Copies of this chain bind each other. A is one copy, B any other.
Amino acid sequence: MSKPVNIGLIGCGFMGRTHSNAYRKVSNFFTTQHRPVLKAVCARNKENAAEFARSWGYESVETDWRKLVERKDIDAIDICTPNNTHSEIALAALKAGKMVLCEKPLSMNAAEGEQMARAAEAAGVPNIVWYNYRRVPAVTMAKKLIDEGRLGRIFHYRAVFLQDWTINADLPQGGTALWRLDAAAAGSGVTGDLLAHCIDTAIWLNGSVDRVSAMTETFVKERMHNLTGKVEKVGIDDACAFLARFKNGSLATFESTRYARGHKAKYFFEINGEHASIAWDLHDLHRLEYFDHRDESQLRAWRSIHVTDGDHPYMGHWWVPGLQIGYEHTFVHQVADFLQGLDDGKPVAPTFRDALETQRVCDAVLESAKSERWVNV
């Protein structure tokens, strides 16, 4: 009854670990016919790949992703490499008829993303992008509450994604661990890395973005480059903030930076509707803050919902009420939903096409920051 899905994972970094963990755990907690099999892992450095395979139980190892993509025993390619490689790998994998699970952001820019989305549609294979925060139970619940109409007309959306890990000017750029600081590998800085998450969630919860006005800043102008060994100009945005108007008439502010002392990974968003408001913070991801104006007047208040009950999204699969799950579970949920989509023969969001919309907003944001004008998405 069980239908194996042979996974070929490319990239052994942080995301390689989160995805591998998800594949390993999913069938202990979710019941689907399709079940992932850890068939092969690919990394340029053979030892790294072998060590990763041992840790996670991959059956085989590759050092050339082109070879992996062509292997007959692989059903799905999971792309966990730097942003500048997504497009080439995905196009090759799609051409080879593989399903593709691509780490976010989809691409270096919208043009590249458009090509990828078209290729995925032409190939007619399941494809998905790892915007994992959609599947934090509290965030999924926010979506549910909005879809039930509980907020009414939306007036405001605000999101920040704040970190502080690059304040040190001695931190180099480029190479294995620090490619996120290298514009050539990452495309952009916080815009593609962090705001892409905020934008993906926002579009999902609040619909399409119409126009943006943005500013970016690079606080540390030069950093040693790990690949060249020279001090080089930093090409990424250290910080980015933008105003937005959504198609539904709501106003929004977005901000991200890696220069906000005290915040390791503070992804926070809040939505204010006519009747109710919602807020969420990644630092306490198991809670959803909810205010409903229709409550009895004297008792109106923000509620801090501990999203750990059996009737909360995904939580019936885990432990008992009151007991938290964490960051890694969002990836398990995405795999579970993807597998369920295979069972049902239905696409699961966010597809390449869905993720492309985020890419368009990112492009508009970066263009606006450069031109200092409002830009239509």
Residues of chain A having any CB pair with chain B under 8 Å? 14, 17-18, 20-21, 24-25, 27-28, 55-56, 141, 155-156, 158, 160, 162-165, 167, 213-215, 217, 219, 239, 241-243, 245, 251, 253, 255, 257, 259-266, 272-277, 282-286, 290-293, 297-306, 308-309, 311-312, 318-329, 372-374
Give chain B residues whose Cβ lies under 8 Å from the Cβ of A276: 261-262
Least Cβ–Cβ distance between A243 and chain B, in angstroms: 5
Least Cβ–Cβ distance between A271 and chain B, in angstroms: 9
Least Cβ–Cβ distance between A140 and chain B, in angstroms: 12
Task: Tell me if A260 and B156 are in contact (CB < 8 A).
Answer: yes
Give chain B residues whose Cβ lies under 8 Å from the Cβ of A297: 309, 311
Task: Tell me if A251 and B309 are in contact (CB < 8 A).
Answer: no
Least CB separation from A18: chain B residue: B319
Q: Contact partner of A260 among B141, B277, B298, CB < 8 A?
A: B277
Give 9 new A-B contacts, CB below 8 A, not counting A155-B257, A301-B306.
Answer: A155-B219, A156-B239, A156-B257, A215-B243, A257-B272, A261-B293, A264-B309, A265-B322, A266-B322
Q: Given that A28-B24, A239-B155 are known contacts, is A274 also in contact with B251, CB under 8 Å in the complex? A: no
Assembly CA distance A328 to B141 (angstroms): 22
Give chain B residues whose Cβ lies under 8 Å from the Cβ of A255: 156, 158, 253
Task: Tell me if A261 and B291 are in contact (CB < 8 A).
Answer: yes
Q: Given that A290-B299, A299-B305, A306-B301 are known contacts, is A321 also in contact with B277, CB under 8 Å in the complex? A: no
Least Cβ–Cβ distance between A311 and chain B, in angstroms: 5
Task: Tell me if B311 and A298 are in contact (CB < 8 A).
Answer: yes
Give chain B residues whose Cβ lies under 8 Å from the Cβ of A163: 322
Of the listed residues A14, A214, A215, A297, the one surrounded by the most CB atoms of chain B closer than 10 A to its CB is A215
Assembly CA distance A333 to B350 (angstroms): 34
Give chain B residues whose Cβ lies under 8 Å from the Cβ of A302: 262, 303-304
